[in-house]
């Protein structure tokens, strides 16, 4: 088994290729988030109904990740990722021609399932092909691609929709991600150290079931669900709030709000550094408190204060995600890949289920009740983080 060093041409191809995959996946998964107001008008659906295009994609991602937890290790890494990136791009292009809202939702669901092929094996590919001494850098580049893709997809879609309409915007992003997929196909080296493995379904399922009986891991899974559900809810419905009085912002200004994802990159990097010096559960509690503080800023009718709150909660969410996923991989006694798969499953369930349910709340009441509910969800997540500390103390 030969793994690459940082200085080699193969390393740079792997690093750049996996970065492009991260951009493509998250640009596609959340491209409709800034387009929800346009979809409400185009298909005559409610605010809560419009969010189903986001929820369908993340449900598809969750379903795909669950299936691939049993099958991914039997499929060559690059083949699975290439299939995912190319087919998902075609589905994004097809979405631009959806004759009905139901067809659009179904296309988003299947696209999410297909995209799960990248998320399921990208980290495994990196760990197999790159030496441990430089693996952390490669992983951080992949995760940065995820965040950058999510930000660029949202900002570009929000800007283009106001001038070109949602259909042409969707088609352009689909063609762009198809182009990224073709570059990825030609650029990323084939797996050199992959060895196909067949998983026994009953054993894998039993192992996942055992994780749900462990208080520490279950708490981390629930934190992932609550934090992601809250975060996606804010970005799903903030467009509607900013377009109304007292803000009444034009579409091109609202689109730039998604640049706040840069605070998420800072949150991941800084939290990672803190966790090298501080107790892991303490850091998790602190970033959840920052998340809560940022949510409180969303009550403000002063735009600068609301944007500050958005930046703080974005920092807090990505810090929470970084710490929770690290704790899962640290405290899973065996079958770490299965534990991480279960973590992602809860993560995307939170995005899909809570992302739509909170839309019903904002439709039935108002923005301020909506924010209060989100603060309650993060307060519950903080209690789970506190219980993790107690459980780990009692174990030791």
CA neighbor of 36 nearest in space, from 22, 57, 61 = 57
Residue 125 preceded by cis peptide, ω within 30: no
The Cα–Cα gap between 205 and 201 comes to: 6
The Cα–Cα gap between 298 and 375 comes to: 10
The Cα–Cα gap between 348 and 341 comes to: 11
How is residue 72 annotated by DSSP?
A: G
| DSSP-assigned letters across all residues of 206-259 | HHHHHHTTSHHHHHHHHHHHHHHHHHHHHHHHHHHHHHSTTT---HHHHHHGGG
Mean pLDDT of successive 10-residue stretches along the chain, which has 396 residues: 62 87 91 92 91 91 85 83 96 97 97 91 79 68 79 87 92 96 92 75 81 92 96 90 91 83 82 77 94 97 95 93 81 70 86 87 92 97 90 57
How many whole angstroms from its chain centre is CA 334? 25
How many other CB atoms are there within 10 angstroms of residue 347's CB atom?
23
Pair 105, 374: CB distance under 8 Å: no
Length of the chain: 396
Pair 255, 159: CB distance under 8 Å: yes
The Cα–Cα gap between 26 and 29 comes to: 5
Pair 273, 140: CB distance under 8 Å: no
3-state helix, strand, coil in the chain (%, to 5): 85, 0, 15
* Phi, psi dihedral angles at 130 (to 5 degrees): -125, 140
Q: What is the dihedral of CA 364, 366, 368, 371, to 10 degrees?
A: 50
Alpha helices in 8-100 (DSSP H): 9-29, 36-43, 47-50, 52-71, 77-95
Residue that the structure tokens 């139901």 belong to: 102
Which residues are CB-contacts of 258 (< 8 A; sequence separation ≥ 6)?
34, 151, 154, 155, 158, 235
* Helix, strand counts (H, E) of the chain: 17, 0
Set out the domains of the chain in order of their start, with CATH numbers.
1-199 (1.20.1250.20), 201-396 (1.20.1250.20)
């Amino acid at each position: 088994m030969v793994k690459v060093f940082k200085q080699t041409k193969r390393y740079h191809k792997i690093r750049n290729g996996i970065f492009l995959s991260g951009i493509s996946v998250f640009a596609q998964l959340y491209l409709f988030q800034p387009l929800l107001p346009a979809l409400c008008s185009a298909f005559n659906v409610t605010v809560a109904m419009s969010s189903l295009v986001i929820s369908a994609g993340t449900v598809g991602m969750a379903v795909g990740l669950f299936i691939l937890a049993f099958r991914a290790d039997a499929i060559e890494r690059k083949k699975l990722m290439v299939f995912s990136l190319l087919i998902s791009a075609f589905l994004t292009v097809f979405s631009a021609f959806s004759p009905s809202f139901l067809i659009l939702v179904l296309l988003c669901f299947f696209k999410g399932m297909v995209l799960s092929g990248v998320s399921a094996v990208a980290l495994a590919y990196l760990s197999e092909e790159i030496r441990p001494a430089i693996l952390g850098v490669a992983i951080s580049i992949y995760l940065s691609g995820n965040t950058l893709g999510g930000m660029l997809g949202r900002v570009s879609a929000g800007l283009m929709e106001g001038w070109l309409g949602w259909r042409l915007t969707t088609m352009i992003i689909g063609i762009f991600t198809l182009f990224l997929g073709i570059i990825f196909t030609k650029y990323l080296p084939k797996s050199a150290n992959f060895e196909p493995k067949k998983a026994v379904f009953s054993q894998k399922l039993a192992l996942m079931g055992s994780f749900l009986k462990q208080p520490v891991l279950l708490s981390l899974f629930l934190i992932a669900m609550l934090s992601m559900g809250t975060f996606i809810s804010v970005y799903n419905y903030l467009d509607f709030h900013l377009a109304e009085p007292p803000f009444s912002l034009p579409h091109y200004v609202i689109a730039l709000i998604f640049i706040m994802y840069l605070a998420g990159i800072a949150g991941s990097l800084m939290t990672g550094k803190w966790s090298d010096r501080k107790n892991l559960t303490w850091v998790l509690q602190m970033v959840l408190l920052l998340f809560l503080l940022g949510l409180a800023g969303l009550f403000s009718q002063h735009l600068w204060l609301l944007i500050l709150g958005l930046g703080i909660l974005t920092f807090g969410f990505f810090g929470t995600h970084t710490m929770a996923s690290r704790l899962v991989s640290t405290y899973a006694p065996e079958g770490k890949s299965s534990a991480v798969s279960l973590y992602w499953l809860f993560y995307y369930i939170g995005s899909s289920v809570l992302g739509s349910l909170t839309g019903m709340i904002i439709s039935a009441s108002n923005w301020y009740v909506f924010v209060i509910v989100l603060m309650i969800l993060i307060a519950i997540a903080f209690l789970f983080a506190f219980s993790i500390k107690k459980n780990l103390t009692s174990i030791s």
